[in-house]
Amino acid sequence: MCAHPLALPARTLRTVALGAVLLGAPALGEEDPRLAFLTRQLAIATDARVRAQAALTLGTTEAPGALGPLCAALGDPEPLVRTAVARSLPELHDLGALECLTAHAADTAPEPQAEIRRGIALLRKVKERKTTVDVWVDPVRDPSSPPLGEALCGEVRTRLVKRLTWSGARSDAVESAPRVAARKGPPAYLLQPTVLRGDGGALVMAAVCLTWPSKQILGEVRVKGSGGTSLDLIRALVPRLIQDAASTFEWELTP
């Protein structure tokens, strides 16, 4: 859920402005219907080419809700669709895709089998990467009036954790973080993210970075986007926020 607003430090270490030029612009906080539409197309379209295209498009969304439908579609009767699904799953940047790809590694059709094996190799490489930093993520603060909503806040937090994990950090919700500093291990930090409405339909995403578990404030990073749906903007802003935080706070992450 969204957390209560917290006063941010007056001084920001770095600010990045991002102009997201994307099609369509429902109000911020409005649920994007495309994920549901693509999921239906993948499940029930009679034309295998339509199902395959839906799978490819779902992968580009990086949406947390796309993993389940894509994993289920690895059982599609058409090799064309299974190939598209296997190609899309790593694009979600979600290590949860490894389990379902591994479960279908015995696919006998050459094209989906090759894509499944490629996806497994890529995800295993990411999973086995040495952790360079711990980054725990607080609930997202939402000081907007009216609020942007719990669903959007949850989406931001989930995407932050997924992207950090994909980039080589050990990351999760702060509720899972150890409360005592390890004697040995990578440096640990806490991110306190905020999302709020900007002028002209823009979305601003900021994060205060603190040491963990001592909670000494190091500074803030901030990015801004406009010209798309709320989920489009989140998708564009999360990697930029992490990239800027890694540069500012000297995290060793893999792009």
Complete DSSP assignment for 198-238? -GGG-EEEEEEEEETTT--EEEEEEEEE-SS-HHHHHHHHH
Residues 40 and 139 in one domain: no
Residues 122 and 161 in one domain: no
Q: What is the CATH number of the domain that holds 61?
A: 1.25.10.10
DSSP state for residue 25 in the 8-state scheme: -
Residues 18 and 55 in one domain: no
Residue 224 lies in a domain: yes
3-state secondary structure of 193: strand
DSSP state for residue 3 in the 8-state scheme: B
**Chain segment 187-208, per-residue pLDDT in tens:** 999 999 999 988 888 999 999 9
Range of the domain at 80: 34-127
Last residue of a domain, one of 102, 127, 152: 127
Residue 165 lies in a domain: yes
Residues 79 and 197 in one domain: no
Residue 1 lies in a domain: no
* Helix-helix angle 230-249:150-166, to 10 degrees: 40
Residues 116 and 45 in one domain: yes
Task: Provide the domain count of the chain.
Answer: 2
Last residue of a domain, one of 82, 106, 127: 127
Residue 47 lies in a domain: yes
Residues 98 and 49 in one domain: yes
Residue 86 lies in a domain: yes
**Chain segment 203-223, per-residue pLDDT in tens:** 999 999 999 999 999 999 999
Residues 53 and 162 in one domain: no
Residues 107 and 174 in one domain: no
Residue 7 lies in a domain: no
- Assess contact for 14 and 247: CB atoms under 8 A: yes
- Confidence band, pLDDT 50/70/90 cuts, at residue 53: very high
Residues 26 and 100 in one domain: no
Last residue of a domain, one of 68, 92, 127: 127
**Chain segment 60-71, per-residue pLDDT in tens:** 988 888 999 999
Say what the pTM is.
Answer: 0.78
Residues 21 and 41 in one domain: no
Residue 191 half-sphere exposure, CB side, CA atoms within 13 Å?
A: 33
Q: Please say if the pLDDT value at position 54 is more than 90.
A: yes
Residue 175 lies in a domain: yes
Specify the range with the lowest mean pLDDT, choosing from 6-20, 170-184, 202-216: 6-20
- Cα distance between residue 97 and residue 66, in whole Å: 10
- Assess contact for 109 and 140: CB atoms under 8 A: no
Residues 217 and 95 in one domain: no
